Every structure is written in C-alpha cells, then in structure tokens.
Amino acid sequence: MQSRQGTPFQSLSSVWRTLRSMRMALILLLVVALASVAGSLVPQIPNSPQRVAAVYRDHPLLARVYESVGLFDVYGSWWFTLAYALLLVSLASCLIPRTRGLIRSLRQRPQPARELESLRHFVAATVPGRPEDAIERARRLFRRRWYRVSLGNRNEQGLAAEKGLAREVGSLLFHSAFFLLLVGVVYGKGFGFAGQVTVVEGGVFTEAHANYDVPPVEGRFFSEGMHRGFQVRVRDFDVRYRRSGLPRDFVSRVDVREGARTVRTDEIRVNDPLVHDGVKLYQSGYGWAPIIEVRQDGRLLAGGPVVFVTDGSQDQRRAWRGVVKLPSIRPQVGLEFRLLPDPESFVLGAPMLEARNPFLGFTAYRGDLRLTAAQNVFTLDKRGLQVWEEGGIGLGQRAVLPDGLEISFPELRQYTQFRVARDPGTGIVLVAALLVLVGLIPALYSSRRKLWVRAVPDGDGTLVQLGGVALQRRAAFEEEFRALARELVGVARVTERR
C-alpha cells in the first residue's frame, strides 16, 4: 500500500526537482525560442489566414503535419503555452529559495568559524599587544576594505568578516529581472495588437478593428472593444531623396482627432513614431494614389484615390500599378493602370522621385471579374476577361471609351502607410532589460570572500590567526589576503591549500 502511494509522490517530486534545475530552465528557454522561430517561418492563422489556406492547397500533406503539431498557431498552441508556463514556474521556483537565502544572509552577521588552520588561506604570527587590540586593528582594517564585520562572543577574541554579497544580490536581480521580462512580454502580447494601415493624403483612419488593411494581430486577452477609436487625418506626406535616388527621409503630417476635436498635430517619421493613447504609429511605407474617376454617360461609377503599388519598393525607375474594377456594368469591366509619375525621367532610365507631368496608361478588359473568388485589390483575375481597349491620359485629361465610358485623372496624391501597434508590456520589458544589465555587472565581476581572525594571549604578546576563503576569483583573493596578512601581523608564513 505504502509503495503504491509513494511512487507517484516520488515521481512528482523528481519532476519538481528537474523543473527547478537551471538546465531545465535554459532548455525551456531554447524551446520557446525555437517555437517562436517556427512561428515566424510558418504562416500563422491569426495573422495570415490566406497564406495558411495556400499551404493547404499547395502542400496538403505538409499542411496536415503542420496542423497536427500546431505550427499554424504556435503562440496559441497548448505546447507553447505549456513550455512558457513551465519556464516561468521553473524560474520562479529557483528565485524564491534564493531570495529567502539571500535575505537570511543579509540579516545574519558573518558566522564564526572553528578551525582557521584548515581554511584555504591561513596565516599565524605572534605580535605584541593584547588580543583586544589586535582584534580592534583587524576590525578597522577590514572595515576600511568594505567588509561586513562581526565580533565574536565575549570569552573568545575573534571576528568574522565577509564581502561580496553584491554578487548574490546582482545575480538575483539578474534572474528576477529576466523573469519580469518574460512576464512583460506575455502581458504586452496578450493585451496588445499590431496592424498595418494605408491612408491617402487628405484621408482619415479611425483606429478600429475593421479599418486595417488586413485584420490586425490581436493578443489573446485583447477584445475588439479595446481599440481606441481615435482618428488620424493625414494632411500630407513628403519624401526627400538623396542624389542617388535613395530615400533620405519620409514625413507624414497628421492631425489626431478625438470625436470632432483635433487634439494634436504632429509629424511621423521613420524612427520617430507618433504615440497617442498608448497606440504607436510608425511610418512604414508610401506610394502614389492617383484620383481616378470613371463615368458612364455622365454617371459616376468609381471615383476617388486608388492606391498604386510598385514591384521592388526601393526602385523608383519602375511604373506603378493599380486596378479599378467596375462590377456594376454588363459586361463587367476591369481597368489596369500604369502610372509614370515623371515620364521624362522614366525614358532616361532615371528614378522618378517627384511628380512632373504624370502619365497614366491603362488597359481595359471586358468579361467576368470573378468577384466571387478570393480577391486581390491590386490585380485583375484575367481568366474571365479579354483585352478591350488601351490608352493613356495625362493629369487633368480624360479618355473616352466605347459604350459611353469615360476615364479622368483629375489629381495625383500620395499615400502613406503606418504600422499601428499597442504593446502595454514595452515599459515593463524595457525596465526589466535594464535591470538584467544592472544585475549582471556585480554578478559577474564581484566575488564573495570571507575572513576570520582569532587572537589568543601568547606569552607577552598575542597569537593572531587569520584565515580566509574566496568563492570566486581566488587568484585575486590570494593577493588581497597577502596584503591583509602583511598589515595585520607583518609578513608571516602563509599557507595555501588547494
């Protein structure tokens, strides 16, 4: 009976012991790291469902394998959560006893030792004077060298001294700060979100779930109601270039509005985000957004800025592409545009950095847009379409197509893209990271050492015994010990044991 009760208990306690070992903590840390790597390589359901679907379509077997081990949703998978939780428990379980131990040794005075002769460093000599004087001299000497000193009891002249608790304190600070860092990461991810948004000059973005380019990645404890709802109106956007054609600086000038009130006006640049209500907006991209109007017999079918993209975002020598879909007329029409912001430079093969006589070329297709299938706003699905008309217009011009269709290009604007993120854990993580660093220095560079002195009457004088040990940096301590011995008892026979 007893053995049957004992076994599960024993195995439980051995699990516990394993968990408390730091090797386990380091292994768990690596597991978490590798899992995160996997999470960044394999598409994740929460952030890119289409790409996950693509894996299912193109590599069904692989997808099944991924799915079975939860690789499509690493951060939500049970094993990731488990590893992270175990890591936290493991760290906490070695922090608590160490903290207790540290507090105990901080409270306690250095403890007396019995046999100084057997210590690693030892010296003995007879000096003139009374034992009390020798002890007093030792106390002052050690004090001067920042040791904590405690005198022995009445009937024996002796003292104990130690130094280097900073090492323990630092080490503990390091480990606790690391724990705090892990907590801060979870907290920030859990209650935060991150998304991407494109806003054309003059346009307004309202911070809400539905208004992102793709659904934002939201933490597990984040609910839609936690979006802040403020508005960002982009007044204008500017890029400045170097002579080589590489961008030097991007600036978006924005108004932030709460309700109808403009609460601030600010600039957003690379490396200089806007922070409002705990949400940060980072300048992340830009491009051209011509305003294109399409009319049929005077009736407006489509009008407004169209976001254009370029293949190879750094290369301003290429034309920009954009698409307008007209599903409401029969047969359906799709328009594919090519924008040259600066045709003259284009012809010369130079980068088109500014708009000068912009030119909009188009190809019109007719047929079925296949809007029932998954859509990409930047391309046409040409499987149901035939080329119908081609042409091009400059700024302020219009082109007339058959069937009473008319395309005009009244204005060229730019759009800007922001990465929008909220991570309430950032502050915690930053503080924790700095504490990690602060704790590391004493933990690595200071060392603990202990000294004991005993003085007994010896004829007219006093026999002084000095013993010491160092837990780290023994070579340095040996020199220190010699110096102490010289000051306390004059040069004498120093024994070193190893």
Partner 1 sequence: MSLTRVSNFAFGLALVLYVVAMVAYFHHLAFRRGRVWAVASGLAYAGVAAHLVSVVARGVAADRVPWGNMYEYSSMVGLLVVAGYLVVERVAKVRSLGGFALGAAVLAMAGATMVYVTPGPLVPALNSYWIRIHVVAAMTGSSLFILGFVFTALFLVQDRKERREAARVEAEPAPALAAVGSGGGLPHDLATSPDEPADRADLEPRRGWLPTAAVLDRLAYRTVAFGFPVWTFAVIAGAIWAEQAWGRYWGWDPKEVWSFITWVVFAAYLHARATVGWRGRRAAVI
Alpha-carbon gap, residue 330 to 165, rounded angstroms = 84
Question: Considering the complex, what minimum distance in angstroms separates the CB of residue 173 from partner 1?
Answer: 13
Among 106, 159, 111, 168, smallest CA distance to 132 is for 159
**Residue 275 or 300 having the CB closest to partner 1:** 275
Question: Considering the complex, what minimum distance in angstroms separates the CB of residue 437 from ligand HEM?
Answer: 11
| Angle ∠(310,311,315) on CA atoms, nearest 5 | 80
Name which position in 437, 457, 486, 490 contacts partner 1 (CB under 8 A). 437
Site mask for partner 1 (CB under 8 A), range 166-195, x = bound:
-------------------x--------x-
**Residue 29 or 31 having the CB closest to ligand HEM:** 29
The answer to whether 134 touches 127, Cβ cutoff 8 Å, is yes
Tokens 């790409």 belong to residue? 51
Question: Considering the complex, what minimum distance in angstroms separates the CB of residue 469 from ligand HEM?
Answer: 15
Contacts of 372 (CB under 8 A, 6+ apart): none
Piece of 52-60, 169-177, 399-407, 482-490 that binds ligand HEM (CB under 6 A)? 169-177
39 touches partner 1 (CB under 8 A): yes
Tokens 């996997």 belong to residue? 38
**Phi, psi dihedrals of residue 326, rounded to the nearest 5°:** -120, 80
Report, in angstroms and rounded to the nearest whole number, the Rg of the chain calculated over CA atoms. Answer: 37
Alpha-carbon gap, residue 463 to 157, rounded angstroms = 11
Alpha helices in 108-164 (DSSP H): 131-144
> How many residues of this chain interact with ligand HEM, rule: CB under 6 A?
16
Site mask for partner 1 (CB under 8 A), range 74-113, x = bound:
----------------------------------------
Tokens 């000599």 belong to residue? 125
Q: Tell me the two tokens of residue 47.
A: 């952030």
493 touches partner 1 (CB under 8 A): no
Half-sphere CA count of 111, side-chain side, radius 13 A? 7
CB atoms closer than 10 angstroms to residue 345: 18
Alpha-carbon gap, residue 199 to 82, rounded angstroms = 40
Question: Considering the complex, what minimum distance in angstroms separates the CB of residue 162 from ligand HEM?
Answer: 14
446 touches ligand HEM (CB under 6 A): no
464 touches ligand HEM (CB under 6 A): no
Name which position in 147, 178, 187, 415 contacts ligand HEM (CB under 6 A). 178
Name which position in 173, 421, 451, 464 contacts partner 1 (CB under 8 A). 421
**Residue 440 or 492 having the CB closest to ligand HEM:** 440
Name which position in 44, 47, 157, 171 contacts ligand HEM (CB under 6 A). 171
First vs last Cα of the chain: how many Å apart? 50
Contacts of 405 (CB under 8 A, 6+ apart): 294, 295, 296, 333, 364
Question: Considering the complex, what minimum distance in angstroms separates the CB of residue 336 from partner 1?
Answer: 30
For residue 196, the Cα-to-chain-centroid distance in whole angstroms is 18
426 touches partner 1 (CB under 8 A): yes
Q: Position 397: which residue type?
A: Q
Alpha-carbon gap, residue 424 to 192, rounded angstroms = 6
What residues from 385 to 444 belong to the interface with ligand HEM (CB under 6 A)? 443-444
Q: Which residue is nearest to ligand HEM (CB)?
A: 94
Among 116, 261, 90, 114, smallest CA distance to 182 is for 90
For residue 55, the Cα-to-chain-centroid distance in whole angstroms is 28
Name which position in 12, 15, 33, 62 contacts partner 1 (CB under 8 A). 33
What is the contact surface with partner 1 in residues (CB under 8 A)? 22-23, 26, 29-30, 33, 36-37, 39-40, 185, 194, 242, 244, 246-250, 270-273, 280, 282, 284, 314, 419-421, 423, 426, 429-430, 433-434, 436-437, 440-441, 444-445, 472-478, 496-498
Q: Which stretches of the chain bind ligand HEM, using CB under 6 A? A: 20, 22, 25-26, 29, 90-91, 94, 167-168, 171, 174-175, 178, 443-444
